[in-house]
């Protein structure tokens, strides 16, 4: 019975997410990664795209960092370090330089669709909640973040991440 209820809940949840994103705008980051935004994204700084939910309670941020272009480091050099706590700590330190008012938890390192990924949550001094999801493919780091206003529906925190598609 528990399995049936869990399965039913999962199906309903998946249908709601899929239904909620049917009008979202597809953004192709490169030849490997695309995702959807609820409104037309605007490129803030090169490689960073930002959009808000229609009710403006959630900000969606997508960033691509090419380590080869920005630091002269290719995927071969990254490979032995990308799963280490030291590498994740450096990512966190880099992010906190641009988000000095955010208290960010240490990154959890995992695997997503066969790629190394990092997740973290945080909160800023205005009680906005930050949900960060990053993954590495080759020499590129892809960051998918949702920033929720204090009044935002916490159930929507994963909608953005669920739109990410990887092509071969």
The better pLDDT of the pair 145, 20 is held by: 145
* Token representation of residue 43: 């490129």
Burial of residue 14 (number of CB atoms within 10 Å: 0-12, 13-18, 19+)? exposed
Q: What is the distance between the alpha carbons of residues 63 and 46, in angstroms, rounded to a whole number?
A: 9
Q: What is the pLDDT of residues 37-95, one digit of tens each?
A: 999 999 989 999 999 999 999 999 999 999 999 999 999 999 999 999 999 999 999 99
pTM: 0.85
Residue 164's pLDDT is: 97
Which residues touch 41 (CB under 8 Å, ≥6 apart)? 25, 27, 49, 50, 51, 60, 62
């Amino acid at each position: 019975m528990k399995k049936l209820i869990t399965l039913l809940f999962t199906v309903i949840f998946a249908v709601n997410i899929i239904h909620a994103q049917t009008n979202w705008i597809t953004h192709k980051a490169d030849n490997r990664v695309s995702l959807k935004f609820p409104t037309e994204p605007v490129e803030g700084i090169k490689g960073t795209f930002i959009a808000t939910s229609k009710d403006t309670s959630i900000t969606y941020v997508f960033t691509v960092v090419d380590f080869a272009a920005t630091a002269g480091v290719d995927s071969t050099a990254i490979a032995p370090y990308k799963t280490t706590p030291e590498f994740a700590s450096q990512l966190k330190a880099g992010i906190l330089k641009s988000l000095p008012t955010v208290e960010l938890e240490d990154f959890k390192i995992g695997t997503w669709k066969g790629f190394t990924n990092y997740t973290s949550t945080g909160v800023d001094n205005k009680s906005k909640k930050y949900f960060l999801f990053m993954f590495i493919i080759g020499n590129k780091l892809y960051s998918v973040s949702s920033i929720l206003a204090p009044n935002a529906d916490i159930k929507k925190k994963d909608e953005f991440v669920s739109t990410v598609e990887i092509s071969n």
